[in-house]
Amino acid sequence: MLAAPRRIIIYLLMTKPLMINLHETAAIIVHGGVGGFERDSDGCASAAGCARAELDRGNDALAAAIAAVVAMEDDGRFNAGSGAILGLDGETIEMDAAVMDSQGRLGAVACLRRVKNPVLVARDVAASPHRMLCGEGALRFARVGGHADYYQPSDKAGIVHRALISALAPDAGPFGMLWNYQLPPPEPVRYACDTVGAVVRDSNGHFGVAASTGGSAPALSGRVGDTPLVGSGFYAGKAGAVTVTGQGEQIIPHLLAHTVYQWLAEGGAMENALQRGLGLFASDLDIGIIAITAGMAGSASRRGMPVTLL
């Protein structure tokens, strides 16, 4: 049984990074997405509590990270699982999720529809002969694995979609020319792109990471961001675990999660690694990072990002 946690930090990150020296044998960090709201920080705290409960039951870092992400998928306020945003057609919901740990487990799903908890399907992929499944194949895999049909767009998703449509400009631009939904295209403006994620170190020194997203808007059907791409949206290894949030199209070319992980693995200071990660991008681009090693936990973001460290 793990000792009761000595601290809970709920922090809406602005420009100054959050760095904590770790003394407990286990630690958890959860984020609710770059550009998130302070009022949603309690959802991150609840998710971290779910992760702690997994550790208290003797489960490992990956199980704890998954439990945290499941809690945020079920929350409805975050762009993941039950709170995932609607596609531009007002009907389609496509979700990505991924899991990885320092013991060699890795699984991801992309463009997954009609399940409640994509991160649990990603967990099942990690136990399969494959590393990643997408689209219809991922959905069939989920059904075989006992994940029931689920399609209940949240009230928030409807509000976000209506706000997006009402703000659209008259020129369809590239989205209009490449439109691949069944319904005719409205005009896009950028709206949501947040992700949820958790990194955990357990009492045995193992690291785990899990992440989930409902995607970004506007986006073509079939769009995949950084979240399910190993090294881009997430990474875990013997030196620690990292997950990121922001616009995937910008994050992917930098392999941001693995890049930050590598700096940490080479002995770089946590704050320097996170700031270097942010420095890879234009100053007006929203990017957030959380990371954990044997001795440090940290987060950094260009905009507000609800974070809980437990």
Strands 106-112, 132-134: pairing is parallel
For residue 195, indicate whether it is catalytic. yes
Neighbours of 39 (CB within 10 A): 10
* Given the residues 92, 195, 227, 243, the one annotated as active site: 195
The C-alpha atoms of residue 88 and residue 235 are separated, in whole angstroms, by: 30
Q: Which residues contact 95 (CB under 8 A, 6 or more apart)?
A: 80, 81, 84, 109, 111, 112, 113, 115, 118, 212, 213, 214, 215
Neighbours of 29 (CB within 10 A): 30
Alpha-carbon Rg for the chain in angstroms: 18
Are 222 and 93 contacting, i.e. CB atoms less than 8 angstroms apart? Answer: no
The number of CA neighbours under 13 Å toward the Cβ of 268 is: 20
DSSP annotation of 302: S
Kindly list the catalytic residues: 195
